Amino acid sequence: MVIYVIRHGETDWNTKHWLQGTTDIPLNRNGIEVAEITSEALKGIPFDVIFSSPLKRAYQTAEIMKRERQIPLIVDERLKEISFGCFEGLCCTGPNYNIPDPDFPNFFQNPAHYNPPEGGESIAELCVRGTDFLTWLIDRPEYQDKTVLISAHGALVKALLSSLLITDLKDFWKGGVHKNCAVSIIDVEHGTASVRQENVIYYDKTRSINYFE
Helix orientation angle between 154-165 and 123-139, rounded to the nearest 10 degrees: 70
Q: Give the CATH number of the domain where residue 87 resides.
A: 3.40.50.1240
pLDDT tens-digit readout, 114-142: 999 999 999 999 999 999 999 999 999 99
Domain assignment of residue 189, yes or no: yes
Per-residue pLDDT, 84: 98
Per-residue pLDDT, 82: 98
Cα 176 to Cα 20, 30, 127: the distances in Å are 18, 21, 16
Residue 196's pLDDT band (boundaries 50, 70, 90)?
very high
CA dihedral over 72, 184, 10, 67, signed as positive or negative: negative
pLDDT tens-digit readout, 164-195: 988 899 999 998 899 999 999 999 999 899 99
Q: How many domains does the chain have?
A: 1
Backbone angles phi, psi at 36, to 5 degrees: -65, -40
Domain assignment of residue 11, yes or no: yes
Domain assignment of residue 127, yes or no: yes
Q: Which residues contact 119 (CB under 8 A, 6 or more apart)?
A: 83, 85, 86
DSSP state of 77: G
pLDDT tens-digit readout, 89-106: 999 999 999 999 999 999
Q: Is the pLDDT of residue 37 over 70?
A: yes
Q: Is the pLDDT of residue 212 over 70?
A: no
Cα 25 to Cα 10, 11, 13, 154: the distances in Å are 10, 7, 8, 14
The pTM of the full predicted model, rounded to 2 decimals, is: 0.96
Per-residue pLDDT, 211: 53
Domain assignment of residue 172, yes or no: yes
Per-residue pLDDT, 213: 45
* First-to-last C-alpha distance (Å) of the chain: 28
Q: Is the pLDDT of residue 24 over 90?
A: yes
Beta strands in 13-93 (DSSP E): 49-52, 73-75
Residue 209's pLDDT band (boundaries 50, 70, 90)?
confident
Domain assignment of residue 213, yes or no: no
Helix orientation angle between 56-66 and 29-41, rounded to the nearest 10 degrees: 40
Structural domain range at position 42: 2-207
Domain assignment of residue 212, yes or no: no
Per-residue pLDDT, 163: 83
DSSP state of 59: H
Residue length of the chain: 213
Query: Which residues are marked as active site?
Result: 8, 81
